[in-house]
Amino acid sequence: MHVVDAFGRGLHDAHVEARFAGADEESAGYARGVTGTEGACELSGIAPRRVFLSVKKVGYLPKEESFEVPRDDAAMVSLDRGHRFTVRVIGEDWGPLAEAEVRRLHPPGESSEYRILTSPRGIAEYGGFAHPTVVKVKAAKDGYSSAVGEGRTGETIDLVLHRGGTIRFRFLSQGAPLPGRAAVSLSGEREAGDPGGTNRFSERFASPIEEGIAEVAGLRSGTYRAVLDLEGFSRAAAADIQVRAPDRTDVDIQLLAGGALEGRVLDARTGAPLSGATIDLNLAGERLGSVRNGPDGSFRFESVTGEVLLHVTHQDRCPSGPLGISVRSGEIVRLDDILLTAGSTIVCRVALSPEKAGEARLRCMSARDEGGYGRVIGATLGRPGTDGVYTHAFRHLGPGTYTISCSLGERKVLREVVVGGGDEEETEVSFDLE
């Protein structure tokens, strides 16, 4: 069979699927294939019968047809481009920019995998829309700042890319060998560029390191903060980096040999290793890493230096922490065993009259902060049983004061519950919505 466009030209990389029924499950089935450079595709192993064909290609409207097999001539399917739009990418000198990457953006701003490189004339054309629609696209090219534009099918969207600024990081490692790549996280405020967009910026880059130097290019003017992760070294950071496009900003980064942090998580009652715990490590308010411990309860973090906070959680235990730890460069810190308890339980019972029967919503929140808000620890929705009572238990709670919210429709009742430190302690709280 052949897949062609409206002008009869062969379409390559079109996905073809043939589905066919049979007298039994063994004779029914499907065959798949992809067209070659001339638009040809051969599907084999199909016995004489009616075949239902589905053909798809990026940038074209999908099409379905059916026909009898065998047939004297090769089946030919013509695909239509549907509604289209064009993106034209140009530089500051108004000249076309070839090989710029153009991506269509989907709400709420996530890019699709449908990417096109512009032609030598700076053109990228999108098709395959069944109806007229509003579209949003982003264009990017190495050495240039990205740009975002919006338009409708049937229109040409012009995007101007400006020569961006560059941050050059020079790593000072006191003679220690450097890895081949640095993970760079940039965030901050930059000058306006995207229409209707935000000036706040946050993005990660994998930058090659050559002769102790790594660069991030194509940045708009603004103030940035960089967090850098290099294998074998502790996380480094630099703030208030001023970038003025198209100039280069040099930043020296002092690297410290990473320390290590290790420990074990045990069951507080039995002293046995407790596997399946999640251990989160935070440095200066940012997550440094997260690991799951092994069958022997052990965990380990590499490349750690500074004042860090450790949190341990487990689906069947009360969480611990935060635990503050100081790790010096090159030091291995071995923690005392972390003991997790089963924690306490708050049992909620909600009484509902038959005429008010419905789904009751329960929420368990931690103690409220100065703004009057507490962290939601658990939430559930349920109906009463035959006795008119809905029961739910919030488990693995540490000592403290909790707020239980029970709501049905517009009615809401709050209860404050104080939980002690007893392992497997149970506290009941009742709600009467009759």
* DSSP codes of every residue in 82-110: BEEEEEEEE-TTS-B-TT-EEEEEETTTE
Boundary residue ending a domain (224, 254, 284): 254
Q: Which residues contact 39 (CB under 8 A, 6 or more apart)?
A: 2, 3, 4, 9, 10, 11, 12, 14
**Is the Cα dihedral 233, 234, 239, 245 positive or negative?**
positive
Distances (CA, A) of 289 to 235, 242, 282: 11, 28, 7
Residues 180 and 245 in one domain: yes
In percent, the amount of the chain with pLDDT more than 70 equals 92
d(CA 173, CA 392): 56
- Does the pLDDT value for residue 181 go beyond 90? yes
pLDDT in tens, 239-258: 999 999 889 999 999 999 88
Q: Domain residues for 12?
A: 2-78
Residues 391 and 409 in one domain: yes
- C-alpha torsion 300→306→309→313, nearest 10: -10
What is the rounded average pLDDT of the residues 371-377? 72
Alpha helices in 215-282 (DSSP H): none
Q: Assign residue 402 the CATH number of its domain.
A: 2.60.40.1120
426, HSE (Cβ side, Cα atoms, 13 Å):
5
Residues 369 and 383 in one domain: yes
Contact 262, 334 (CB under 8 A): yes
- DSSP symbol at 202: E
Q: What are phi and psi of 167, to 5 degrees?
A: -105, 125
pLDDT of residue 332: 94
- Does the pLDDT value for residue 28 go beyond 80? no
- DSSP symbol at 354: G
d(CA 87, CA 121): 11
pLDDT in tens, 215-237: 999 888 899 999 999 998 998 99
Residues 189 and 203 in one domain: yes
Angle at CA of residue 274, ends 269 and 275, nearest 5° = 165
Angle at CA of residue 409, ends 407 and 411, nearest 5° = 55
Alpha helices in 284-416 (DSSP H): none
Q: Which residues contact 415 (CB under 8 A, 6 or more apart)?
A: 403, 404, 406, 429, 431
Angle at CA of residue 186, ends 184 and 188, nearest 5° = 165
- Does the pLDDT value for residue 11 go beyond 60? yes
- Does the pLDDT value for residue 434 go beyond 70? no
User: 402 vs 189, which has greater pLDDT?
Assistant: 402
User: 345 vs 199, which has greater pLDDT?
Assistant: 345
Residues 87 and 74 in one domain: no
Work out the pLDDT band at 22, boundaries 50, 70, 90: low
Q: What are phi and psi of 354, to 5 degrees?
A: -55, -40
pLDDT in tens, 49-79: 788 889 999 889 999 988 887 777 778 899 9
pLDDT in tens, 384-396: 887 888 899 999 9
Residues 316 and 394 in one domain: no
Angle at CA of residue 320, ends 300 and 421, nearest 5° = 150
- As a whole number, the mean pLDDT across the chain is 87
Work out the pLDDT band at 355, boundaries 50, 70, 90: low
- Does the pLDDT value for residue 151 go beyond 90? yes
d(CA 264, CA 241): 40
pLDDT of residue 111: 43
Give the total number of structural domains in the chain.
5
Distance from the first to the final alpha carbon of the chain: 70
pLDDT of residue 113: 52
Residues 93 and 146 in one domain: yes
Contact 164, 145 (CB under 8 A): yes
pLDDT of residue 354: 67
C-alpha closest to that of 165 among 222, 231, 213, 125: 222
Q: pTM above 0.85?
A: no
d(CA 388, CA 373): 31
CB atoms within 10 A of CB 108: 5
Residues 74 and 99 in one domain: no
Say how far residue 251 (Cα) sits from the centre of its chain: 30
Boundary residue ending a domain (21, 48, 78): 78
Question: What three-state secondary structure class fits 318?
Answer: strand
pLDDT in tens, 277-331: 999 999 877 888 899 999 999 999 998 988 999 999 999 999 887 899 999 988 9
Boundary residue ending a domain (33, 57, 78): 78
Q: What is the CA radius of gyration of the chain?
A: 31
What is the rounded average pLDDT of the residues 34-55? 86
What is the rounded average pLDDT of the residues 164-184? 93
